[in-house]
Each structure stands twice: as C-alpha cells, then as structure tokens.
Structure 1
C-alpha cells in the first residue's frame, strides 16, 4: 500500500479523505512525518496555496504528498470569501464568525448561488499535478445541521434539500468538492 502524506492538521479533512481513499493508500498526517510547523499559505489563489503547501512538504520532508486548498465562492460577492474562506472574519479562523459575516454580507441579496471549490496539488516522485473539484449550490439564510465544519450548515448543494451539515460524512463524501478532486487524484494515481 502506497504511503501519501496529506498536508493538513485538520482532522475533519483527513477523516473525509481517508474515507474516500479507502484501501488504496495509507494516508499519513503531518504529525506522522514529524512536521510540526505551520505550512506556508501566502498565495492569493487556491491553486497557489495548494502548490505552496505541497512543495514545502516535498522539499523539507522528501515525502510523496498532496495538499489541498478549498474555498467557498459566492456569486453575489464576486467569488468571496474564496481563498480567504477560513479567515473571512479574521485571523482567529472562527467558523461561527465566518458564517455570521457571510450571512450579514448576503442580507437582502436574492442571488445566493455559490460553489465550493477544492484544488489538490500532488507531488509524486518530484512531479507536480493539480486536480480541481467543484460542487455548486446555494447559501441558505439560517444554520441547519451539526455535521461537518466550516460553512457546511449554510451550504445546500444543488439537487438536495439538506445542507452539508445535515448529511453524514459518507453522504457528503460522495458528492463534495473535495471528493471530486480526490476522485481525480485517485484515477491519476491508478
């Protein structure tokens, strides 16, 4: 079984991606490879941040790895919060504060269409590849559900009457932006 380091300390992300990867790969966390430092994330696009994190790991730990960066892109807000999704309401990275600010900024706005987008950068044997996953949906006006993380309680994917936060991790894992990017990653790896 091939070992791959996933460049994150977010336990939710690791759990989601390991569920998608199943038996194909053993997912190593940053802790497992001895990486304690914060990975650089200074790009102004999801693509740049994803590459920056993966390149750092490959350069400093000589390990096959992949990194992702995801963002919620709201049409009426010109793609915001986008690359700043985790820090939308400030450096404290509070999910509750981010949701509150987003709902405030969408107050009275009719077009609530949005999409979650993930970009994964894989560095395997020194070669770089990027994969994108998108799920379209809309921002609802009040929080629903307790599963997931981030903007999940206010994001309702197209074709569903429930938010990401009302889905089980398996249900979300089948349709999410991250799942779509990981599927592309897996078919590439096969």
Structure 2
C-alpha cells in the first residue's frame, strides 16, 4: 500500500498541475488540450487530477485565477516601483512592452479563453470578467493617484488594445504607441 500523500506533497502536486495545464492551454488553446495531455505534462495520474478538479472547466477556472494573481501582481510590482504617480500610469505600458517580447507570448490568456469558451461556459465568462474588472480597477487606482481619474477608461482601453494587437501581430510596438498616447493625454490641461 502506498504511503499517504502529505499536505505538502498535495500542494506541490496541485502547483505542478496548474503550471502544466496553464502552459498547455496558453500554447495550444483549451479545446485542443485533452486531459490526457494534462496528465502527461504534469506527470500526475488522471485520478489524482480529478481529485483536485472534477472537470476540465474547474481546472481552467483555477488556472485563470492563479494566472490573474501572478499577472496582476507582477504588473503592480513593476508599476509601484515608480514614485511619481504619472510615471506609474506610463509604467503599465512599459511592463506590457516587456511582456510582449517574452518567448511564447500569445496575447491575453483571458481573451483567448473567452474566444473559445465564453459563449458556452458561465464559469469561464465570469472568471474572464473578474480579471478584466480587476485590471481596470488597478488602472483606475493609478490614474486617480495621477490626478487623471477621467482618463482611466481610456488608459484601460489602450492597454487592452495594445495586448490584443501585440498578440495578433507578434509586434511589441503597440505598447509603445499606447504609452505615447497616454503621455499626451496626461499632459493635457
């Protein structure tokens, strides 16, 4: 009889599962990835995977939540290194430009997933909307601190547009163009 799985091992296994599933879903798309692919990439038996998440949709929602935590945390860490509130707003686009040049960049994971499953999965649609609302709230906070609360929506839309355009074209330039536009808006009286 195998030794019981410790809580520490269970946490490690779950992390391995989420990381493997995220990589596969982001690289290939959710519908193109079967649970056997997740099993092979994670090295975990299907029975163990289904103990963590009873359905592929549940696994996807967990992946999106974890990605949101890391993605928005990395963005905040980068932006908040700037002392000047105006520079913080512009730093959003500097961070996006860096992200766009990372190997394997395929655009916004949430938009990609929404395109695949948003019309058929309420859980996925809710998770995508939660991420977008939280991202918008981050930008609103930084725009308010810069004395430009009225620009928050424009900044958010420019950031989203840059992400989508860079994901489609493979060119990081949209972040630079959006940054220039936001700088112009912030400089207006």
Question: TM-score under structure 1 normalisation?
Answer: 0.26
Higher-Rg structure is: 2
Question: TM-score under structure 2 normalisation?
Answer: 0.26
Q: Which has the higher contact order (CA 8 A, sep 6+)?
A: 2
